[in-house]
Structure 1
Amino acid sequence: MKLISWNVNGLRACLTKGFQGFFSQLDADVFCVQETKMQQGQAELELPGYRQYWNSAERKGYSGTAVFARREPLAVTYGLGIEEHDHEGRVITLEYPEFYLVNCYTPNSKRGLERLEYRMQWEDAMRAYLCGLDGKKPVVYCGDLNVAHQPIDLKNAKSNEGNSGYTAEERGKMTELLQSGFLDSFRALYPEKTGAYSWWSYMFNARANNAGWRIDYFIISERLRGAVVDSAIWPEVTGSDHCPVGLELNF
């Protein structure tokens, strides 16, 4: 089973930059997107053979997630079921016989860390949600999680210490999640691979210089470790300031 995740930084814009070509080329079973910045129906998106599930933010042109799936899930839920966290269209969960798929766009703690306190509340709620699902069947948790976990996961670790996405608090929450029975699928396969990034700033020729961050993940239940065929990153795919990441599982 092939799964793809991509923060498209505005799906309408990405559609003009090759989205559908990459979508067709990858031929994924499930394709998750984050930061759609649109409501369903605001753009023509013909994806024959795929069911579409959308969770848009109440605020227009902001945040939002979508999942395009070949297989019809047993059930679909939107959000975490917590009022304070469910206005920005950040989570979609599909239940399949073998596993739960959770597509997430984690809130950014923002410049000046003005949203860090909220981010910490979000992380605790998300971890509790994932652990609850994991108690029933294995979980595949993917998306833009807005944190580089270890120094190997960004180009300039030293100079970014304390910045949004690389604070001790955010990194600590990722560690807590992984210690709760989950696995970073990419690092499980490639523990020492450097230069593997999924996001680059638009400033300072960051992408051309590969001065990036790995903040897009497939986090899986530990007991799915043996099912992982590959965990991939496609930095050559443009169309957003993020590139797609993928996971292949063999159940």
Structure 2
Amino acid sequence: MNLKYWLIIMFFFSTLLNAKVIAQIPEASGICYISSTKTLLVANDEGWLYEITPKGKLVRKKYIGKYGLEGISYSSATDKLYLANEAKNSILVMDRVSLKVEKEIKIKKEFKEKKVLTKSKKSGIEAIAFLDGELYISHQASVVFKVGSLKKNKTKIKQVYKHGYKDIAGLTFKDGYLYMVSDKKNLLIKYDINKNKTLQKMKLPKFAQEGICFDEKNNVYFADDNGRVLKFKMKKFSIN
């Protein structure tokens, strides 16, 4: 291991020591930040949504329904929330204000005549993220894929990215780059989605990473499946 890489790792771990547990949320499985309200939306895999402040104060919570929620993302262009429903490999479209599910969009299983999605509970969709109007979803079978139009009740897989990492349970975009967390390997990966290549990866302390997001103050938040929301202050998160 060269000195530069070692210093990066040490910086990241020293930063993690300053982490705060800002909220206790059972089986937290996804998280996103909404800049207009300065709040976080946290999903759990029993069908609940929690809205909290960056300090962890509960704003509201609502039972959405019997869904296996495994990820949540927000689009400012539509002012909608989009949730990954692992139980049916579908996308829930939700009104941000009322938290009412407006539509459930099923994803076609095949891409170029090859099956990408399966019904197995151990190989469903795990995370969801938006970039420039495009929706990306993580599948446990070591791929991220981009879906097509969300206007109808069914959509297709447009493109598949074989990143090679196991159990990517959290996705988010920052400055045009995709950040992924591998729960199985305790890794944080910075990925160039356009070039389909890894830029950097960092080892995380062992915890049940299930979601990741950033705010505009360069804080990073993790949804922990063990029942917590963690907040880290990362002044130099882009480690070039």
Mark yes or no: TM-score above 0.5. Answer: no
The structure in which a higher percent of residues are helix is 1
The two structures have a TM-score, normalised by structure 1, of 0.30
The structure in which a higher percent of residues are strand is 2
